Structures are given as C-alpha cells and as structure tokens.
Structure 1
Amino acid sequence: MNNGGKFSLKYTSIGLFTLLLCTLTLFASANYHKSTDFYKHLTQVRPDTLPLKKDTLPGKQADSASRNLQQVDTLNVKISADSLDAPVNYAASDSMVLDVATKKITLYSKASTKYKDLDLTAYKIELDQPTQIVVATYLIDSVGEKQGKPHFVQGESNMDADSIIYNFKTQKGITKSTFTQQGEMFVYGERIKKVNISDFFALDGRFTTCNLDTPHFAFRTKRMKLVNQKLAVSGPIHPEFEGVPVPIYIPFGFFPLSQGRHSGILPPQFTANAQFGLGLEGLGYYKVIGEKFDVMLRTDVYSYGGWRAVLTPTYRKRYRYSGRLNLAYQNTRILSNDPKKEFDVNRSFNIQWSHVADAKARPGTSFQASVNAGSTQYNQFVGINPTINFQNQLYSSISYSKNWDNKYNLTLSMGHDQNSRTRQINVRLPDGSFTVNNFYPFQPNDFVGEAKWYEKLGLGLNTQFRNQVSFYDSAFSFKQLVDTMQWGAQHNIPITLALPSLGPIQVSPGVSYTERWYAQQFTRRWNGSKIDTTIDRGFFAARDVSFSMSLNTAIFGTFNKFGKNSSVRAIRHVIRPSISASYKPDMNGKDYYSTQVDTSGREVRFSKYDGSLYGAFGAGEFGGLSFTLDNNLEMKVRSKKDTTEGGIKKVRILDGFGLSGSYNFLADSFQLSPISLYVRSTLFEKINITASASMDPYKTDNKGYRINQYAWSGGKFSPGRLTSGNIAISTSFSSKQKEKQPTEPTDDLASAGLPMTLEEQQAQLNYVRNNPAEFADFNIPWSVNLSYSLSFSRLLKRDYSGYETQISSSINVSGDFNLTPKWKMGANTYYDFRGSSIQQLTMFLSRELHCWQLGINITPVGLYRSFNITINPKSGILRDLRINRTRYFYTQ
C-alpha cells in the first residue's frame, strides 16, 4: 500500500509553465530599448549655481555646503526653432483629414482655429505644420451661394473675406475681397495685407459708413493704409453714389478712427444772413491738452465785417469735480435801419461758467456754480441762435454748502441778475443761510415705550442774510453803488408739537417767531403832482409772532348703487378738511402810513419797508380761522381687456379740487380773505387739466378799489370777483411704435458727466427747434400734441389811478405723420389770441435715406423767418460732410 501524495498533472503543468515564464522575462526589456543615460536627464543632481559660502564657524563648512546644495530636476528636451509658443486649438463639425506625409491638417464644415487671441472660422481651414501657414476658404453650395465665408478676429481686428492666408509665427497674412469695420467706418479691399497686429495695407479699397453689402455711397481709392482703431490714410480718392463714380478727386484722405477725445479742426458751416451777410460759422480748433483738460476755439466770420470768437476751456477730475468756462467776444456789424448810416456797430462780451462737484468726493460739502454774465446787448446781436435774442434776463449763482450730521446746514452764495431791456444789473454778494433742523429738547436719548406728549416738542432755526447792489451798465459809477447798496437778514424760529390723535382727528399746535433786519426805510409822499420817495439809512428791525392750532382729518364716501349691467361699479369721494385757529398780534402797525396817490385825494397805505430785500410784515391783528378743503374723486369700472383683480380698474376723475381761505375775527374791515380755488385732473389718462383762481368776496368802486361790502350783499347774489386765474390743458396722441431701436452709447460731453454752459444748452435746443427734420422718428407713424393756456389778473396801474385786467391766451399745436415709410412731414405753430395772429410757424419735411438723411425746414411766420435744406450722412465721423443751404430773414 502506497501512502505518498497523489501526483496531479494539472498542478504540475501550471508550475512548470510559471517557472518557464519567469526565466524568459527575467532579463527582458519589453518593447523599450535600454538607455543608460535616461536617469541623467531626470534625476541628475546638479550643484547649485551659486558658489558655496564658507561657514563662519570652524568645522562647519561641510554642513553649510550641504545646506546650500539644491537638487533640481530638469527636462532637457530640445524644442524646434519653428515650433509655436502656444497651443493651437481646432475643431470641425464634419471631418478632419491628417496628411502625415505633408504634415497638413484640413478641417471641413464649421471649422475653427484658435491661437492665442486669434480666432479664425470658415467652412474649410488648412493648416500646414512645417510652414505654420493657415488657409481659410468658403464653399459654393448647389444654388451658387457662398457658405462658411472666413471670419478673422484678432485683438481689435475683425474682418470677413473670401479667402485668408495667415502665418501664425510672423502674424502676417493676405486676404481677398475683405470687409472690416473700424469704428463707424466699413472698409472693403480687393486685397488686404496684414503686416502686424495693428497695421494693414489695402489695394483697390472702398470705405463708407453705410452698413450694406452694396452701400449707397462710398469713397474709392487705389491704395490705403489702416492703423487699427486709430486712423486711415489713402491716396487719391473719389466718391461714388449707388455705384456711379462722381468726377471729384481729392489728392489724399486722412480719416481719424480713434475713439474718445482727440485734437482736430472744427469745420465751418456756410450761411447767408440778410443782416450779417455771407458767413462761415463754427470754424475753429479743438485741442486735447491732457486727460483732465482741453480747450476749444470757435469763430464766426461774416462778409459785412462782423465776427465772433468763443473760447471754451473744459476741465475734469474723475470722482471729484468737472466744469466748463465759456468766454465770448463779438464785434457786430449789421445793416442799419437808419438811412443816415450803412451799418450798426456794437461790441459786447459774455462769460459763462458751469461747475459741478461730485457728491461722493466730500460727503456733507458741495460747491456748484452757474454763471451767465456780460454785456446786456450781447444776446441781441447773436446771429446763429435767434432764440437767445428773446431772452432779456441773465442769471448767475455760485453756492457752497456744508452739512454737519444732518443737524446743521450752512449755505453761502453769490449771484447776479440783469435785464437786457432796462440794462439794470443786480449783484448779490454774499448771500447765506444757516439752518438748524428740528430737535426735541425733552426727548431722552434712550427711551422705552411710547413717547410722552411733551417729548414731541420740536424747535428749529432758519437764518438768512442778503447783500445787494444795483447799477446800470450804461451809467456805472461808485456813487451809484453806494446809493443802491442794500442788506438785510431774517430769522425764523418754528416751534411744533405733535399731540396724540383724537380718533380720526390729528391735532397740531405751533408757534412761529420771525425777525427781520433792514438797512433802509422808504417814505413816500405826494408832492402835488407825483409821489417822491425818501430813503433813510441805518439799522432797523421788525418782528412778528403767530400762534396756531390745526385740526386735520379725512372723510371717505363710496356710492356703489349701480345696476348689474353697468360698467361703472363704484364712485369714491375723499374729503380732507383742515381747520386752523391762529392768532397774530399787531406788532407792525406802527410801520404803516397812508399817502395820497392821485389828484382826487385817494390814499393808499404803505409800509416803511416796502421795496426792501425781505419785504414788510402784514399790518393789523389777526385772530381767526384758516380753512382748507381738498377733494379727490375716482371711480371703479369693469375693464373688458384687463382681467386682473376681477376685471376692475380705477379711473381718476379729478385728481384734486378744493379751496382755501381765512376769516379774521379781530379785523375791523375785510375780515374774509380772498378764496383760492384749484382743480387738477387727467381725463381718460390723456388730457391734463390744471386750473386755479383767486376770488375776492368784496365789492369794488368805479376805479376797482375794494370796499367793505360783501359781493352777495344788497339783494344780488354773487360769490365774489375773480381777480386772477389760469388754466392749462394739454394732450398728446400718437400711434404705436413700430419697433424699439437699441440705444447706442454716446461719447458726448453730456454723457461724460460734464456740465454744459447755458449757451451750449440753448444752442442745442435751438438747433433741434430749427431743424426738426434731422430728428424725425420714422418708427412712430403719426403724433399730435396740443396745449392751450389762458391767464388773467387784475393789476394796479403804475399811476395808481385804478386797476386794469391783463389777459393772455395762446394755443400750441405740433404734430407729424409719415407720408410714406421713408417720408415724414410735420409742423409746429403758436397762436396768440390776444394779438389775434400766428406768432410762429415751423414746418419740416424729412426723407430717410438709410445712411443719409434729407431735411427741409421752413419758418415762414414769425419775427425770425428762415429756411434751410440739409443733406448729410448720419454717421458721426462724417457729420461735417453735408450740403446745407440756409437763409435768415429778420422782420423788425
């Protein structure tokens, strides 16, 4: 019997096979050749590039060397001199073909290649790896259309072409039939050579501001150089319209393409003026001195010898302030209406200054300036802006304010005003005010719960002071300044108290104390034929105090008893009455006196302070009631279109209407004050109505002076006499806008946050007013604007002989409509009912020419009559390339 282990053929075979496999692979190197130098490139330890420093301690040199020794792993792989310094990313939607023999890669259908900032797309792109040249072309489909035209973008360069050949390494290339856009200019070249990242040379070039493939107009040149987003320089050029060349040649062309501010000549505009002669207007130069400063010089020159020069410096400091100064001098020489002389000659000047400080620069402090001063006859002789000729008032204001924690506020200012007709000038220097906002002395710093009634007692202070001198520019003298010098001050202390409400009624007591300081007293006396005025100088003061208690509430009423089928669901009426009891003692009756004003012996009461800077306080004791009644009326109607909120919407009938007045129980006569009436409404959300009037409840004598009898006394009922009033009605209708045009960012001075002088604002408004055809909106097929105004007042005659009524009434109508989708016609007229004549009529006709526009503006009626015809491109870069014919006719 054999007790040994069994022999297994299966396990024996596996063991022999494993032993054989290990023997064969023990010294094998697989598919890689053995390299004895492999470790040298990756793991070789190199000594530090810095020399070893000896340790300062004896016996430590070896340790110091070991610490300074650095082990650096480097990969010494040799790179070909023809290799690119950045990867090339490429993709295609159809296929990619790699030709190993020629080392070319070809991409088909929506192919794209990106290298650094370069982005190239086309139907077919072929990349030659040895030469690093890429070729992009398009495909002609079965219907003969070009598909996948090459599009090239690099930095600020953006172009489309039929074919593009570009070298990645040298960044040079050649394109054929290329379109590119430089700012507002569209450039086409049969061949364009790119010599670097920003410079291009074009052969058989065409440039235009029309963005169509076949532009309406263009300029042709044989050779041209483009510096990307900076300038374009060309050889001889000639224009063409609708592909037809115009036989006008210009020896060279220079077109600035840079964005933002840059120096240059301001081209003039030719004009013909009946009074000034032929002229060039707007000729000048704009100079950029630095980032914060620039200056502009403009001149107007006329054939009769007149001229005008305007110097406009502009300054700015971002986040701090900005401003502009306008210095104008004109030497006017116009045809004279006097038969004894041929011309009228006048010299005048004008100074304007606008300054605005950024509110974030110094929180709590502000400084602003708006100055418009100069010769009183300056506006009268400005020929390029007829609207200025009607402005007889000039104003200036310079102010500085300081705020302390919203508790105290100080304001200092200076200014002036002058009248061109009277030639009187008033200068205020300085003016100021100091205000203390309401504070509550009995209110604790930290309180819990509801405040006590006495803790709501508030105090405040408002102090003002003024200084003024007056003189005539035609008779200026130091003695006149002294005689007209005035100063004054006013102090007001309001005291308020908010009492707890009595249900729906709010109770508000108040006390007000006012004191005024004067530098003069005026005394008027009848000398037998007229009134003489005597001025006494010194320091004088007047005071006034008043006590009041007011009650306010609101009453709501709704009427909703309408039928089920009625579209009106409810009418809501809101009444807000206010009654105030007040008392004012007679503290200023001593300052009033009576003086005869005419030969009939009639006397009128005057105050010693009538004509002063702050005026006089009212005379007499007042103890009575003041009342105000304000109303609001609206209704709810069922809307057929709007189904939100149950299909009910609110319609305003009267936004507000009411009256106000007072009754003085302590007066011995004229106890009831005139009643003020007002109403305002927006009917159908289209018609705006505003009206107000003053009604006197007392009768008058045969000359219009009030007598102490109510208008309804004597058996004849009458609520009173309307002594003044006005009403204004306006509305506008227009069709729906066809499509909203995207607004493009502008780079003008207004958008840059620079303040505009008054003359520049007036010039822009006048240009829009006189050239409405250039601003026609063809997206609105038609529009109509209507406005009517009526005002009247009873005024005392200058000779005190009675009262007279002055009435003014006018209507303004404007509108426009599209004759065709490309033709628009409009008009604007102003009719004065008092003069029973049309004061002004302006008509325009505008033609939309895609990249050009035609405008015809006619003013056949008015003091200044004119017409002009203008054809010009819309682009800002060619805004001065216009054909203009303008004539002015002055009817004096």
Structure 2
Amino acid sequence: MSAQEDLIVPLSIQPIKDTLVLPPLINTVVQDTIASDSIQIDTLNKKDPLLLDIIKYKAKDYVKLSQKDQKIYLYNEAEIYYQDTELKAGIIVMDYVKNEVYAGRMRDSLGNYSQLPYFKQGTNEVTPDSIRFNFDTQKAIIWNSRTEQQAGLGQLGSDNMKVLAQITKKENDSVYFLHEGKLTTSKDTIDPDYFIRIKKAKFVPGKKVIAGFSNLYIVDVPTPIAMPFAYFPLTTGRSPGLMMPSFGNIPDRGYFLQNGGYYVPFGDYADLLMTGDFYTNGSYGIRTQSVYTKRYKFRGNVNFRYERLINSQKGFDDYSSTRIYNLQISHSQDAKSNPNSRFSASVNLGSSQYYRNSLNVINTPNTQNNNLSSSISYSKTFPNYPSVNISLTATHNQNTNTQSINMTLPTFQGSLERIYPFAKRDGIKKGVLQNINMQYNVSAVNRIQTTDSLFFKPGMFKDAKVGARHTIPISTNFKVAKHFSISMGTSYEDVWTLETFKRGRDSELNKEVVLDTVKGFDRYGKYNFSTSLGTTLYGTFNFGEDKRIQAIRHVMRPSISYSTAPSFDQYYEDILDENGNEYINSKGEVERYSRFEGTLNGAPGLTSSSSMSFSLQNTLEAKVKDRDSTVLEPKKVSILNSLNLSTSYNFKADSLKLSTIRLTGGTNILNKKMSINFGANLDPYAIDNNGTRINTFNIDNGGSLLRLTRANMNLSYSLSSETFGKKGGKEPDKNEEDENSYAATSGGRTDGLFGTSDDYDNRSFNEDDSGDVENPNYGNKLPWDLRMAFSTGYNNSNRQNEFSNASLMFSGNITLTPMWKVGFNSGYDFKNKGFTLTRLNFTRDLKSFVMRFNWTPFGTYKQWNFFIGIKSSILQDLKWENRSQRAIRR
C-alpha cells in the first residue's frame, strides 16, 4: 500500500472560487413569491418563468457540467425529460442559459454511427440524425428526420405513412416545414423501393402534408408521374374523399371510366361509398355501399348496384338496351340489446342475369350462382307464463336459371309455450299423466309466385295466395321396461283461406278446370293420432388394449311409429260436366273434388290413412391407440357419422302399400380431410313398360329384391402442405377470407371452388416478413393447398340406368416463393363433357407494391385482368390496370 501511495503526484492547481450562479435546472421548482408590502404588485407586468417544469437528465458514461461554456454534456445513452418532451440520443449538449439542447449520434472508431436521436413530443415521434430544440419557444431544427404517421382507419383500412426530410423546421406543436422530403409507405425507410419526392412542404402531424412540386420515384429512378402541387391527408378515422377511377377502352363499349366515386362518413356509426362506371357508347353503372354499426346494438350494410348495358348504336339492327340491378341488405342485432325482441335481415335479390351480364369483373365468380335468397324477420317474446312468441317474416327465393321467384309477404307465426296441465311447473314429471302437454301454433302466409319480368310490378300480386293454419298438438311420453321410450299424441288443425275454387269438367279439353273463384273466408278442420316406440342399442367389439384398434362401437337407434287420420269427405263434392251431370271416369267411378284444392294449404284427405313407419339410425366409431407413446388415453375415431334407413307401410292403401326405402349416410376419413355423403332410393315394386309402378314386388317380377331408382354422392377433399408437416394445422389465411367475403355476401361459395373476386380496391396481401425465411427469394418450402369436390347423381326410375350429373370441381394455391403466389380453380362436367369456369391467378409481392394477373383462358367468360399498384390504401390511386372484356351476352 505504501508503494502505491508513493506513485500519487499532487497537481499544483490553485482552486478558484466560482462566481457564476447556475439557474435552478435540476429538482428545483420555480415558485411565485408574494411581497409583504402593503402596496399591491401590478400582475399585468409579471412574466411567467421561462421553465415551467423540472428538467430531468441522465447519461450512462458521464454528465459533464461546464461553467465556462454554460453547458451540460451528456454522453452515451443520454436522456432528457421536460413536460411532454422526451429526447434520447448518443450525445446531448444542453445550454442552460439559452434553454436549448443539441442531440446527435455516436461514432465509433470504425466510423459507424449508433444511438440515433429519438425525439417525442406528445404523440409525435421523430428519429433524426441530429436535432436542435429550444425549451422556451418549442421550436426545433431537425436534420434527416424520419417520422411515421398512422392514417386511414376508414373504409379501406389503415396504413402508416413515413415522412422523411433532409431539413425539418418545427414551428410549433402542430406545424413542421420540410425541405427535400420523401413520402412513402415502404417498410425500409433507409432505402425505400418507392417514394414521392417533395422539395418543400408543410407537414401537420396527424392531419395532412401540403407539398409543392411532387415526383414519384421507383427504386431511386424518377418517373413521369409528377404534380405541381399535392395534398396528402394523414387523418386517422374516417374522412370524406374521392375514389379515383381507372380508365381504358373496351370493344363495343368504347372508352370508359370505372370505379370512380366518393366516400362520405356519417358520424361514428355509418358511411356511404358511391362509385360508378361510364362508357362512351352510353352504358353506365352505379353502385352504392353503406355500412352502419352501433356497438352492443346492431350492425349491417346496404349495397345497391345498377347497370344499363347498351349494345351497338341506335338505328342498327343489333342495338339493344338492358337494365340489371342487385340489392343486398344485411342487418344483425346484438342479442344483449333486447333479449325479448329481435330484428334481422339478409337480402339478396335483383335481376336474374345480373352477375352473368355485369361488366364489373368482381362478379365473375358469382356467375355460377343459381339461387338468390332473402329473409327479413322480426320476433317478439312475451316472457310471462305461459310465454308467447310471435314473429313476422318476409322471404324471397329466386332461381337465376328459370327466373322463377317465390316470395312470402309476409309470414306471421305465433306459438304458446308448452303447458303441462297435470304437473307442477317446477316439479319432476313422471308417468303418462304428468307428461301430458299441449301447445298452440298459428301460421298465416301471403305467398306470391312470379317471374323475373313481373318482379316489383303490379302483375306479381295477381295470383297471390293467402291462408292460415292453427295447430293444437297434445302429446305425452313415458318409458317401458326402462329401455323403451313411447310417445303418443294427437293434433288438431284448423285451416283458413280467403278464397276457394269451384271446379268442373270440360269435355273439349278433357280435363278438370276451374269454373269460378269464390272470394271470402272459408275454413276446414282435420285431426290425426300418432304414436312411436324407440330405443337405443349399443354393441362393442373389443380387440384388446395391446392392439392398434382396441375396440369398435356400434350404436343403433331403431324407431317404429304409427299414425292414422280419418276421411274428411264432408269437404268434397262431385265433379259436374258442362251439362250439370256427374262425371264418371274410365273406372266407372264418380270423381270428386274439394273447393279447397289449389289454395295455399291444400285440401284435407279424402280417404282415411293408417300407416306405420320404420327408421333405423346407425353410428360406428373406433377406439384407436395413439401413435404417440406418451399419450395414455386412446382416441375416438368416427367410422360412420350416420347410416340411416327409413320406410313406411300404408294399411289403407289399395295398392303400393310399401313406400320407397330411403338410405342416407355420411362419414369423414383421412383425418377428417375428406367428407363423404351419399343417398339412395330403393323401390320394392316393379314397373311396367311405360315406367309406371305396379302392385307387384320386383322380386316376383324376375328382378332383385329392391330396385335402385335414384342415388347421389358428394365428396369433398382438402389438403395442404401443412397436412404432411407438423401437427396442428394451419390457421385459415385471413386474406383469403377477405377476398371471398364478397362472394359470401352475394350468396356465392367461400371455399374458392368458383374462384375469388377480382376486387382491385382490396389491396390485401400476405404480409409475412421475408426476413423470417432463410432464403427470402427462394424459400426451401413451397406452401400449397388444394380443395376438390365431386358430385354425381344416378337415375334409374324408368330403367334409364344413367348418371344424371357428374362433375368435379377443384381449386388451389401454391406459393412458389415468398413473393410469388399462383392460384387456380376449374372443374370438369363428365355429363356434358366440358370444363366449367376455369381461372388462373398470379400474384407478385413487390414489397410496397402488389401485382396481379387473372386469366380466364376459355369459355363464356373468357378474359384477362392485369393490375399493379401500391398496397397502402393511403396511396391507392397510384396504380395501373388493364383488362379485356368478355364476350357480350346478347
């Protein structure tokens, strides 16, 4: 120790007393003082202190206070905090006289910079190379600043706009002036793949950028796309704005502007998007889309599309003008908003040929839709015992092939809660008597059958049918011998109608005709009795716990039911010919009719019925030992989800007492990747040379025991690269769901078998970070997926022995590289020997851009579409697209 002390050499420096008094910067609060003088001080001339809060600072290596320079030096991981201002940097120099700070980067021995300054004031964040900031004026000079602004959150989603500038002058908390700036949405702000160069601009964070001359650069190369001035909105939330159209030329239509329009938000609960297409030959299209929502109350949307299609020119023979439209309404109510009443709507109606003739390519996948359906309903429950439930429903079903339309405007339904008159409400019900229960149901319908040409015209109501049904079912159930369940019941039905028909026989036409329609209220009543017996049988086959398949369990649910109903011949009368005589048919019998024939609910039975029905439900499952030795419990594997058989026997029928046997079944195999459903009709009776069923069993006519008349089978199979990979499976691609959402709302398929909609306003793309891949350009994995569906039908009701239909549909995607994705969908009709709608789509991720090419190589909808544009919705109008027009359907 003494040797070391000898090495200490004292310095001959004389201490000098410091006469400078520092301002209170650290842990010092400037306070106002009140003088004790009796003369009141004039507060108008009083000045606020320059520093309104405490300045806190720290650094990792050292904090140096220089009295000579009147500055404080902070080095390495330096930080300063003042009110809502936060500054972090490698080096910070603070002038405590001018109340200014200077922040910059650190440079190591190799010349590399680190610890770039980070400046935050309020919610605004800036990452520059260096910054100079004054605490008093709140002004700043920033060099090579980089800030990120969130914009959007409206109809097209949200994105982040990066604002970069060589020199930025901060005027106040809300105004910045930029010199030699760049605007981009690229993730890489150091070397962006594209940017908009602005020489001078005014930047208001969270609101806008107003710039002078602006020029688009792609990979640091200027493009001819330039503007003398520009306005870039940066508002968060929804704001009104123009939707820039695309332009081009289509044969037989001329030049066009497509998908141009305006977006308008209405407060926080609704918005409206209006777009349109205009063609120089006079064709045009108008589309409106509105979305509304109120949290915990309801949400929905209204879409209306209208197009006027003009072919050729007036005066030519091939000139035509058609109007097509489509209306979609969706409304759902939160169940918690009102538990006793509910309103919902799902509407999809319009011209039957809308999707097939529409000029908008987004409708191409929906050209395969054959049905449009709608439902609007309101229900109300009165909870007091016995509770009553009422509902009012309007429905619509439209076949786009036949153009036939069936509607109910409206249907009223009411029901009374099930009542047990011989049992306590809160007690256990035992025996036949206590299980006796009754209900009351009423249904009133106004049904309309019309065609597409009469839709929404007065003629559609001409043949409307109105009727009501009141039903009172009474039933009970009990068990016999612990294993058999017996149910017994009777039902009374009272049918009302507002018109009936008087019928007669026309000798010239040789058929029964309606002679007169009788307007006015009329009714009839009918009743029946039924009983059923059922049980459940279990059978288990054990193979041993050491086996791969340890056991198989078979569950059978047989059921026998009997029903009977009397004849209601009091509602029938004899058919008379034009001379008023009874009509006698070829069998020597007087034909009868009911005035209720042709009404909404039909007529009661003329003959009594007494029939017995039999059904058998089967399920089959196995107990399989898991391949993983760490799993102790075996797993259950379904072999047959269902195998059902049903038939009936009518004791009162004169002939053909045994009905057709119906067989249905379904299962899932290959680890539930393949779904199989099938059905068949087996007829025990033979047919004559005309194909009519005769009262002779088929086996007695030289045939088999049962004759297969109809059969159908549907198979669907899906697999992907994840199927052969690790367990767990892959979550559905959200982008695929977004692309198929238009198909779902339009009543189409969402599994991609008909393709996805070419919605070029939807810039969604797989945003997987290519940095997660070992080789981002040529990944060693090729993710793919494949979906297939096969459907076939067999018909042999008249010895045709033919397949009525047989078609295979398939679709899939393959990711060639993290940047390239290829998709396809097609199908083959084995009956008509031709391919169905076939489409190929290619997608290229260009970082900030996306490029798509969709191609329908042949068929009615032959066309191609090319698109390239910025993925960000902020700059969505920076795009280029070109497309061909499919052949015009005349």
Pair in the same fold by TM > 0.5: yes
Match of 2:632, SS? helix
Aligned-pair CA distance for 1:209: 1.0
Task: Note the 1:36-435 alignment, pairs <5 A.
Answer: 81-100=48-67, 102-183=69-150, 184-212=160-188, 213-312=190-289, 317-322=294-299, 324-326=301-303, 328-335=305-312, 341-347=317-323, 352-372=328-348, 381-384=357-360, 385-386=363-364, 395-405=373-383, 407-416=387-396, 428-435=408-415
Question: Distance between the aligned counterparts of 2:735 and 2:400, measured in 1?
Answer: 40
What do residues 152-201 of structure 1 show as CA deviations (whole Å, max 9, x unaligned)?
Answer: 22222122111122223322212211111112211211112222222222
2-structure distance, mates of 1:418, 1:444: 48
Does 2:699 correspond to 1:707?
Answer: no
Q: Once the 2 structures are TM-superposed, how far is the Cα of residue 793 of structure 1 from its aligned partner?
A: 5.3
* Shift in alpha-carbon separation, 1:523–1:701, aligned structure 2, 3 A: farther
SS in structure 1 of the partner of residue 857 of structure 2? strand
Distance in 1 (CA, whole Å) between partners of 2:837 and 2:315 is 29
Distance 1:588 1:102, change over 3 A: farther
| Contact 1:592/1:619, CA 8 A, preserved across alignment | no
Judging changes above 3 Å, is the alpha-carbon distance between structure 1 residues 594 and 465 closer, same or farther for their aligned structure 2 residues? Answer: same
Q: Per-residue deviation at 1:844?
A: 1.7
Which amino acid in the other structure matches residue 310 of structure 2? R
Q: Is the 8 A contact 1:845 1:856 kept in 2?
A: yes
Structure 2 Cα separation of the partners of residues 286 and 830 of structure 1: 39
Match in the other structure for 1:788: 790
Q: Does 1:466 align with 2:445?
A: yes
Structure 1 residues 649 and 399 mapped into 2: Cα distance closer, same or farther (>3 Å)?
A: closer
Superposed CA RMSD in Å reads 4.4
Partner in structure 2 of residue 860 of structure 1? 857
State the alpha-carbon separation in 2 of the partners of residues 595 and 885 from structure 1: 71
More displaced 10-residue stretch of structure 1: 857-866 or 569-578: 569-578
Letter in 2 for 1:402: K
CA distance in 1, matches of 2:712, 2:788: 17
Asked if 1 retains the 8 angstrom alpha-carbon contact of 2:572 and 2:592, the reply is: no
Spell out, residue by residue over 1:845-887, the C-alpha distance to the aligned partner (whole angstroms, 9 max, x if none).
2222122122111101221111011111211212232111110
User: Is the 8 Å Cα contact of residues 768 and 775 (structure 1) preserved in structure 2?
Assistant: no
Q: Which residue of 1 aligns with 2:834?
A: 837
* CA distance in structure 2 between the partners assigned to 1:761 and 1:111 by the alignment: 59
Comparing 360-369 with 455-464, greater Cα deviation is found at 360-369
Unmatched runs of 5 consecutive residues or more in structure 1: 1-40, 50-75, 797-801
| 8 Å contact kept, 2:366–2:746 | no
May I ask how many residue pairs the two structures share in their alignment? Answer: 808
1:24 match = none
Which residue of the other structure, out of 656, 660, 678, is the alignment partner of 2:642? 656
Deviations 1:669-710 (A, max 9, x none): 222222121111111221111112222222122222221122
Pair 1:887 & 2:884 matched: yes
**Residue 733 (str. 1) matches residue 712 (str. 2):** no
User: Offset at 1:134?
Assistant: 2.2
In the aligned structure 2, how far is the partner of 1:371 from the partner of 1:633?
A: 41
Local SS of the residue matching 2:756: helix
| TM-score, structure 2 normalization | 0.80
CA distance in 2, matches of 1:827, 1:730: 17
What's the CA shift for 1:463?
0.8
- Determine what percentage of the aligned residue pairs are the same residue: 32
Q: 1:56 matched to which residue of 2?
A: none
CA distance in 2, matches of 1:770, 1:109: 54
Query: Residue 546 in 1 paired to residue 528 in 2?
Result: yes
Correspondence 1:756-835 to 2 at 5 A: 758=746, 768-770=756-758, 781-792=783-794, 807-835=804-832
Distance 2:248 2:858 in 1: 20
Do structure 1's residue 438 and structure 2's residue 415 form an aligned pair? no
Distance verdict in 2 for CA 1:594–1:833, change over 3 Å? farther
Q: CA–CA distance in 1 between the matches of 2:200 and 2:33?
A: 57
Question: Helix, strand or coil for the counterpart of 1:713?
Answer: helix
Query: Once the 2 structures are TM-superposed, how far is the Cα of residue 274 of structure 1 from its aligned partner?
Result: 3.7
**Residue identity matched to 1:266:** M
1-side partners of 2:420 and 2:795: how far apart?
44
| Cα distance between partner residues in 2 of 1:128 and 1:750 | 61
Aligned to 1:640: 627
TM-score (norm 1): 0.80
Q: Which SS does the other structure have where 1:876 is aligned?
A: coil
State the shift of 1:511 in Å: 2.4
Structure 1 position 744, deviation (Å) = 10
Aligned partner (choices 452, 455, 460) of residue 434 of structure 2: 455
Structure 1 CA distance for aligned equivalents of residues 813 and 266 of structure 2: 44
Displacement of 1:476 after TM fit? 9.5
Choose from 487, 490, 496 the match for 1:508.
487
Partner deviation per Cα, 1:21-69 (whole Å, 9 max, x = no partner) = xxxxxxxxxxxxxxxxxxxx9999999x9xxxxxxxxxxxxxxxxxxxx
**Residues 743 and 665 of structure 1: CA distance in aligned 2, closer, same or farther (over 3 Å):** closer
What is the rounded CA distance, in whole Å, between the counterparts of 1:293 and 1:477 in structure 2?
Answer: 28
Deviations 1:294-349 (A, max 9, x none): 4433221112221123345565555444555455554321238x995242123455
**TM superposition shift of 1:785:** 1.1
Q: Any idea what the Cα deviations from partners look like across 1:72-103, whole Å, max 9, x if unmatched?
A: xxxx9x99844422333333333333335555
Structure 2 segments unaligned to the other structure (5+ residues): 1-31, 151-159, 578-584, 769-781
* CA distance in structure 2 between the partners assigned to 1:846 and 1:605 by the alignment: 69
- Alpha carbons of structure 1 residues 89 and 699: separation in structure 2 relative to 1, 3 Å: farther
Distance 1:730 1:589 in 2: 53
Amino acid aligned to 1:684:
L
Pick closer, same or farther for the CA change 1:137–1:281 going to 2, 3 Å.
Answer: same
Q: Secondary structure at the match of 2:645?
A: strand
Give 3-state SS (helix, strand or coil) of 1:454's partner.
Answer: helix
After TM superposition, the structure 1 stretch with the greater mean CA deviation from structure 2, 112-121 or 537-546, is: 537-546
* Structure-1 residue corresponding to 2:21: none
Equivalent of 1:582 in 546, 549, 563: 563
Give, in whole Å, the separation in 2 of the partners of 1:134 and 1:807. Answer: 85
- Residue in structure 2 matching 1:721, options 708, 719, 729: 708
Please say if 1:567 is aligned against 2:554: no
Residues 344, 392 of structure 1: CA spacing in aligned structure 2 closer, same or farther, 3 A cutoff?
farther
Partner of 1:704, secondary structure, is: coil
User: Cα distance, 1:776 vs. partner?
Assistant: 6.7
* Offset, 1:740: 8.5
Aligned-pair distance for 1:376?
A: 6.3
Q: For the Cα contact (< 8 Å) 2:103–2:132, is it kept in 1?
A: yes
Instruction: For residues 238-294 of structure 1, give each alpha carbon's deviation from its aligned partner in whole angstroms, at most 9, with x where no partner exists.
Output: 122222222442111211111221111111122443443331111112233544454
**1:399 offset after TM fit, Å?**
2.6
1:163–1:879 Cα change, 3 Å: same
**Aligned twin of 1:29:** none
**Secondary structure of 1:712's aligned partner:** helix
CA contact (8 A) 2:368 2:754 kept: no
Counterpart check, 1:677 vs 2:656: no
1:552-605 alpha-carbon deviations (Å, 9 max, x no partner)? 3222222223695x4222222222222223333334696599999xx9999999
Given that 1:265 and 1:286 are in contact with CA atoms closer than 8 Å, whether structure 2 keeps it comes out as: yes
Contact 2:290–2:303 (CA under 8 A) maintained in structure 1:
yes
1:761-814 CA-to-partner distances (Å, cap 9, x unmatched) read 99x999933479976759771111111011345789xxxxx9997812211111
Which of these two proteins has the greater Rg computed from alpha carbons? 1
CA distance in 1 between partners of 2:636 and 2:300 (Å):
48
* Alpha-carbon distance between aligned partners in 2 of 1:640 and 1:756, rounded to the nearest angstrom: 40
Distance in 2, Cα, partners of 1:330 & 1:827: 29
Give distance in 1, aligned partners of 2:699 and 2:247: 68
AA paired with 1:790? T
Report the CA distance shift for 1:636/1:390 in structure 2 as closer, same or farther (over 3 A). closer
CA–CA separation in structure 2 for the residues paired with 1:441 and 1:103: 97
Cα shift at 1:839: 1.9
